[in-house]
Amino acid sequence: MSKKVFVLGAGFSMPAGAPSQAALLRKILQYNGNNYGNPVEQWIRELKEFLSSAFILDPEEMENICLEDIYTPIDKCISENSSFRGYSVEAIKKIQNQLNTLIAIVLDSSIINLDPKSDYNELFVSKLVSQKHEHPTTDKFSIISTNWDIILDNRFFRHLRGSSSVVDYGCQVAGIDSNDNIIPPLVAKTKGGYTIKFLKIHGSLNWLKCPNCQRIYVSKNEKIAIPEHTLEKKCRICERQAFAANGGINLSPHILMPTFLKSMSDVQFKLIWNQAAKEISEASNIVFIGYSFPQADFELRQLLARHVPNDCNIEVVLHSEDGSGPLPNSDLYWTSPEFRYKSFFGKRLKNVSYAGVEEYVNALRL
Ligand SMILES: [Zn+2]
């Protein structure tokens, strides 16, 4: 049976306002939203001081450094318990936490409300849900997303509300509040519902993790990984253990940051990545949407190298805004996403379109 696997990159969410990874740092350095109060201004000031004194960058150069080049040395120093250019391990941990939070805040504040009539996310979700609704026992598609935003999650939850069908994140999740009514995928199937596989391989803004029991808590509406929601969130299951007397276990965001030292030892990420490997190995057609296929995503690239079947057709949907150029007639073609796809997949690459995600979703048939 045919199976389509969608692999979504930052370009998928860009028409909804989300910045590219390359633009994230610029947005953070220019951010002046006051919804979050003074700590945010203080964190941005400290980030600028850090980029100036540890990376020797002038203010006008700071926005151009890759996030990987900030995170990787920080992660390395933390793992070796070494200081970084005069910053103690404690100081760089603090900078790292603040940068994580700033990324979540800026990403969240960038999302715009699309007109429901032209909302391609809504159309995408409704097409997928309709397919499942008509053929609940089929397994004709799944989604692998590298994005943290919850634009699609919100729409899936809305469409599935009141039914016994659920989003299957590929890991074990529980509701952040006991009345959140998160039904595990296996239970959903026994109740006659269907599941929609949505594998967020870099984590999600609506996930928090308990460092004690390793559970992932999901909220159906809130971006609980953003601090204003995170404050005071404790593991409601570990609360029944002895250390609850010391204030309980604080939950923390479950997001993989852009670094060359990705820690894949986490049990829930292992489950998600194993499921992603399985989906890729069963695919007859993989559609990459808004994903520039960067070398920095070496974990995803090795997964694809190992599991994409010989006879699988690869399609790519890009847009000029997510860095589609330079095109084949240019001397710099070898730096383009198209070249990266072509050199990686060879004859399995069947089509590269520059029409963008909205046009693709409009024409999508399942
Ligand atoms: Zn726990």
For the stretch 7-27, pLDDT in tens is: 999 999 999 998 888 889 999
Please give the distance, rounded to the nearest whole angstrom, from the Cα atom of residue 170 to the centre of ligand 1: 19
Please give the distance, rounded to the nearest whole angstrom, from the Cα atom of residue 177 to the centre of ligand 1: 13
Q: How many CA atoms does the CB half-sphere of 43 hold within 13 Å?
A: 24
Helix axes 38-55, 21-30, angle to 10 degrees: 120
Bridge partners for 287 per DSSP:
6, 315
Q: Which class for 323: exposed (0-12), middle (13-18), buried (19 or more C-beta within 10 A)?
A: middle
Please give the distance, rounded to the nearest whole angstrom, from the Cα atom of residue 178 to the centre of ligand 1: 13
Please give the distance, rounded to the nearest whole angstrom, from the Cα atom of residue 210 to the centre of ligand 1: 5
pLDDT tens profile 109-160: 888 888 887 899 999 999 999 999 999 989 999 999 999 999 999 999 999 9
Average pLDDT of the residues of the chain:
88
Cβ atoms of 221 and 151 closer than 8 Å: no
Confidence check: pLDDT of 333 > 80: no
Q: Which helix (H) or strand (E) holds 206?
A: strand 203-209
More confident residue, 214 or 278: 278
pLDDT class for 38, splitting at 50, 70, 90? low
Cβ atoms of 215 and 180 closer than 8 Å: no
Please give the distance, rounded to the nearest whole angstrom, from the Cα atom of residue 243 to the centre of ligand 1: 11
pLDDT above 70 covers a percentage of the chain that reads 91
Please give the distance, rounded to the nearest whole angstrom, from the Cα atom of residue 235 to the centre of ligand 1: 5
Please give the distance, rounded to the nearest whole angstrom, from the Cα atom of residue 197 to the centre of ligand 1: 25
pLDDT tens profile 162-201: 899 999 999 988 888 777 778 888 888 898 899 999 999 9
Please give the distance, rounded to the nearest whole angstrom, from the Cα atom of residue 322 to the centre of ligand 1: 39
pLDDT tens profile 43-57: 899 999 999 999 999
pLDDT class for 36, splitting at 50, 70, 90? low
pLDDT of the residue at 132: 94
pLDDT of the residue at 104: 82
Please give the distance, rounded to the nearest whole angstrom, from the Cα atom of residue 200 to the centre of ligand 1: 21
